[in-house]
Amino acid sequence: MSIEVRNLRKSFGNSAAVAGIDLDVPEGEMLVLLGPSGCGKTTTMRCIAGLETPDRGKISIDGRTVFDNQERINIPVNRRHVGMVFQSYAIWPHMTVFENVAFSLEMEGLGRSAIRTRVDKILELVGLEGFEERGASYLSGGQMQRVALARSLVMRPSVLLFDEPLSNLDARLRDHLRVQLREIQTQLKITSIYVTHDQREALALADQIMMMQEGEVLQMGDPVSLYNGPKTSEIAEFLGYSNIFEVNVVGERDGLCQLAFCEHARNLDAAFINRNGDRDLTACVRPDDVSIKPLPVTAGGDESSGVNAIAGEVILASFMGSHMQYRVRAGEHEIWEILCPEVNTEIRLGSNVLLEIDPAKIHVLPKQ
Amino acid sequence: MTAIATKAQDRGATMQPVWGRTVLRNSPTFILMAVLGVMVIVPFLMLVFTSLVDVLPFSGEAEFNFTLSNYVALWAPALGHAIANTLVVSIGGTAIAMTIGCVLAWLAARTDIPFKPLVHLCGLMPLFISLVVASITWSLLAAGRTGYLNIIFDSMGLPFHINVQSLFGITFVHGLYYVPYPYIFVYSALTLVHPDLEEAAAVHGGSLSQSLRRVTFPLVKPAIVGAMLLVLVSTAEEFPVPSILGGPVGIETLSIRIYELATRVPGDPNQASAVSILLTAIVCMLVYTQRKILRGRDYRTLTGKGIQVRPIRLRWLKWIAVAFVGLYGFVALGLPILALIQGSIRGSLYIPNVAAFFDPKQLSLEHLIEAINSEEVHTGLINSFSAGILTAIFGGTLYFALAYVVNRTELKGRQILEYMSMVPLALPALVMGLGILWTWVSVPLPIYGTLAILVIAFATRFMPQGYRAVSSSISQIHDDLEEAAMIAGASRVQAVRRITLPLLRGAIVSTMFLMVVLSMRELTASLFLYTSNTRVLSIVIFEAYENGFWTSVASISLIYTTILVILTLVGRRWMRADL
């Protein structure tokens, strides 16, 4: 076990930023802490780094206890030997790229030639060879990002921490660096914790994802099972389930359960249902699980022919390159979001369309 | 990967218990609180104490009785006059300074006025003119019939005289030389208002005057109010101007009254303390008002960068503007310097008519040379420089330590430290000097009678400005930079030395330079604290003036002013225009 956190608590004033969290990151894996801003993910990470002192709990890195309030152990940040990439990059503007990267080795007391060799190797790894003597304030955002990564890697840390490292970059660079980051991390097998509020980044990078809110863990799992099996509609919404409606279960038929929308005149069939007691239920559908086709002009009122067929009018059609995004109004306030991989020129703004949803793709989830 | 793991274990071999660190961790706060306590709080308490007893704290008498008689004695018509005079010269002076300063700032920041660097110079330079010298030169220029200007008026047959030895004169000199404060505040506020904000107003249909009124003015209003109250406070506690211009004709302000009561023989230092408390109360009220008005309205950092603004075209008005700036520069800087030169190269003080200004027979470099060679001036100059440099070093270190603890740590009591460092704002310099005197005179340490006490006084007096300058620079350096160094294995001290200090170097150098210049300029704080060995240049001038040695007063003032001007011009590179 490379990182082990038990019952971690940290409050600022009266509000608990982290309210008793346990987490384990196996050696060489990447754990992503995912959640909206203020959910405690960054605080958790800063506690592990040693930048915040927790109120209570226990943190071990590589089997070494670095914090334990009961045993009164608190190893200062500079002796924890963790690497960290900051959201702001935190590149020291008065130093060159080389000096930035060499800093931690200097602190370790390495000789000049050893430093030179290791820095050169890392700069090559992140694709910054030739930039050694460049002043750090003359770098682009992407380059600063790489320097920050090199600076953290060069110390061969026991643990690498990432605090939303890609959030200040533009979309293309972000995609590019995300791939590179995952490559380097899996190649070097560095135990990592990565904090983000972007669910796409989390899904792409993680071995395990821990979803947090208000200082607590909502759900934990590997990306695929988390994405396919959110426990609540709240989590589903955060993961990109953009069609969420409150429903009641009104009956069962042919192994399907029948749902009636609370606020709209709509009935759908769902394949499975995860009903916990009498909590409010919702139907959650991902936009790419809704199929869309032009409404046949001849077949007036033939809506009941298919299972879960919904007629509506396109109120937004937006071309996204690899796919189309549609917004369809099916009732007065009943709006559906659809992502469709094919571009169908017959479907335009104002077209009447038919939506179909496979009952197996409807997730019936409690709200919380 | 296993290699990395063992490496990590080696490094973390020493584990410190949490409780051991908490005591150690809080020590910076304790030390700083003790230092500020001795510098700021103790002198004030000494003053309060002295105002409430019937003997002096250093008189060696063991017996003392608490009494309110010092305050009761205040209840006299003379004090009423002093209060009224104080209010007149400070409110009037503030009005003049604000008007000139705001106009200059707007011209320099927002218009296409020609000779912009000169406008800037006119706005800033008076800050570095000693007010002792300014008052003395204005005495030369316009005190009674023998004032140079009045001689000129007479010779031109003009039927009026200017007399600066009056409430009007004091107000006028205050107004003239406090221009830099509104200038600096409003200028930097104006340059920080992003032009997009004004352009947005224009796009949404606002005319130029509307966007000035509805967007620009509200955005710089906090700066205007801030400058106004600062000038009000400074002029209310001002000593050399009312003393030199009002003293000879018996005009008293509160600060003069304190000085008189404390130094007259037989004096009444206890009553002087009571007046000090009263003056402090007035100043506190003003500072409190300022805080209240400005609370939560600090718009200074609207954007991070200086912005190139498209200037407003003045067209034909620009020559009026140039004339205005020129007139101000001439009256505030030109006339006094001419008067100083004239005063220091004259053989005798008596000038019968205008021709005498240029009569070579009456001119002589004798007094100037005498002043340049004078032992007293040399000592004063060395003392001034030493005190200035020591203040810069001591103050720079202290302000950095304060700013660091307040901004960069989560130690308990750091807020209290910040409040303590602002207290000198509400302590008039004269009052502070008195309090410091009574604090150190009774301490058996070699402080009183050495330059050290002046350094303590100066570092205390400039603490609010110095602390704020360093503090705002520290807060602009992202926390992450230092944290990244610690993550990389640096201790806190190494991180500060390798990252924070190098990044702050510019700000600290400029603050320290400002400390040198301000210390060299300062008179009031040192009035009660100098001894015969520790006369600084401003004291040498003030003493020469008090003893009536007019020709040497002019000569030394000329030397003093030349040095200050050179220092300022040389240091302009390092000094930023924000205080």
Instruction: Tell me whether residues B11 and A79 touch, CB distance under 8 A.
Output: yes
- Pick from A66, A79, A86: which is nearest to B480 by CB? A86
| Helix or strand run (H / E) with residue B454 | helix B451-461
- Asked if pLDDT for residue B154 goes beyond 90, the answer is no
Instruction: Tell me whether residues A151 and B488 touch, CB distance under 8 A.
Output: yes
Per-residue pLDDT, averaged over B565-569, amounts to: 81
Q: Which two tokens stand for residue A174?
A: 């972000």
The CATH 3.40.50.300 domain(s) of chain A lie at: 3-228
**Interface residue ranges in chain A relative to chain B, Cβ cutoff 8 Å:** 27-28, 49, 51, 53, 61-64, 66, 69, 72-84, 86-90, 92-94, 103-104, 107-108, 148, 151-152, 155-158, 189-190
Instruction: Tell me whether residues B9 and A151 touch, CB distance under 8 A.
Output: no
- Cβ contacts of A69 on chain B, cutoff 8 Å: 18
- Cβ contacts of A78 on chain B, cutoff 8 Å: 486-492
Residues of chain A with pLDDT under 70: 1, 272-278, 297-306
Structural domains present in chain B: 81-303+317-351+367-574 (1.10.3720.10)
Instruction: Tell me whether residues A107 and B488 touch, CB distance under 8 A.
Output: yes
Q: Which two tokens stand for residue B343?
A: 């005063």
Instruction: Tell me whether residues A78 and B490 touch, CB distance under 8 A.
Output: yes
Nearest chain A Cα distance for residue B490, angstroms: 6
Contacts of B291 (CB under 8 A, 6+ apart): none
- Pick from B17, B490, B492: which is nearest to A72 by CB? B17
Per-residue pLDDT, averaged over B250-267, amounts to: 78
- Cβ contacts of B3 on chain A, cutoff 8 Å: 156
- Asked if pLDDT for residue B296 goes beyond 60, the answer is no
Contact A251, A323 (CB under 8 A): no
- Pick from B5, B17, B488: which is nearest to A103 by CB? B488
CATH number of A3-228: 3.40.50.300
pLDDT confidence bin for B286, thresholds 50/70/90: confident
Structure confidence at residue B140 (pLDDT): 82
> Between the ranges A190-194, B12-16, B197-201, where is the mean pLDDT highest?
A190-194
Structure confidence at residue A281 (pLDDT): 85
Structure confidence at residue B11 (pLDDT): 38
> Between the ranges A25-34, B10-19, B445-454, where is the mean pLDDT highest?
A25-34
Task: Count the Cβ atoms, other than its own, within 10 Å of residue B545.
Answer: 24
Q: What is the mean pLDDT of chain B?
A: 79
- Pick from B5, B12, B499: which is nearest to A75 by CB? B12
Per-residue pLDDT, averaged over B189-193, amounts to: 75
Query: Which of A26-35, B360-369, B491-500 has the weakest average pLDDT?
Result: B360-369
- Asked if pLDDT for residue B378 goes beyond 60, the answer is yes
Residue A183 one-letter amino acid: E
pLDDT confidence bin for B408, thresholds 50/70/90: confident
Of all residues in chain B, what percent carry a pLDDT higher than 70?
Answer: 84
- Cβ contacts of A93 on chain B, cutoff 8 Å: 503
Interface probe for A, chosen from B18, B22, B412, B487 (most Cβ of A below 10 Å), is: B487
Contact B474, B506 (CB under 8 A): no
More confident residue, A192 or B25: A192
**Buried (b) or exposed (e) across A330-351, using 16+ Cβ within 10 A?**
beeebbbbbbbeeeeeebeeeb
Nearest chain A Cα distance for residue B502, angstroms: 7
- Minimal-distance CA residue of chain A relative to B492: A78
Per-residue pLDDT, averaged over B497-512, amounts to: 85
As a whole number of angstroms, the distance between CA A259 and CA A252 comes to 9
Q: What is the mean pLDDT of chain A?
A: 86
- Asked if pLDDT for residue B473 goes beyond 70, the answer is yes
Could you tell me if the ipTM is greater than 0.90? no
The CATH 2.40.50.140 domain(s) of chain A lie at: 233-366
* pTM listed for this prediction: 0.78
Q: Which fold has domain A233-366?
A: OB fold (Dihydrolipoamide Acetyltransferase, E2P) (2.40.50)
More confident residue, A336 or B155: A336
Nearest chain A Cα distance for residue B246, angstroms: 53
Closest residue by Cα to residue A293 from A353, A216, A334: A353
Structure confidence at residue B541 (pLDDT): 86
pLDDT tens for each residue of B65-112 = 777 777 777 777 777 888 888 889 999 999 999 999 988 888 888 778
Instruction: Tell me whether residues B481 and A75 touch, CB distance under 8 A.
Output: no
**Buried (b) or exposed (e) across B393-430, using 16+ Cβ within 10 A?**
ebbbebbbbbbbbbbbeebebbeebbebbbbbbbbbbb
Structure confidence at residue B218 (pLDDT): 79
- Cβ contacts of B493 on chain A, cutoff 8 Å: none
Q: Count how many pairs of residues, chain A against chain B, have C-beta atoms within 8 Å.
A: 107
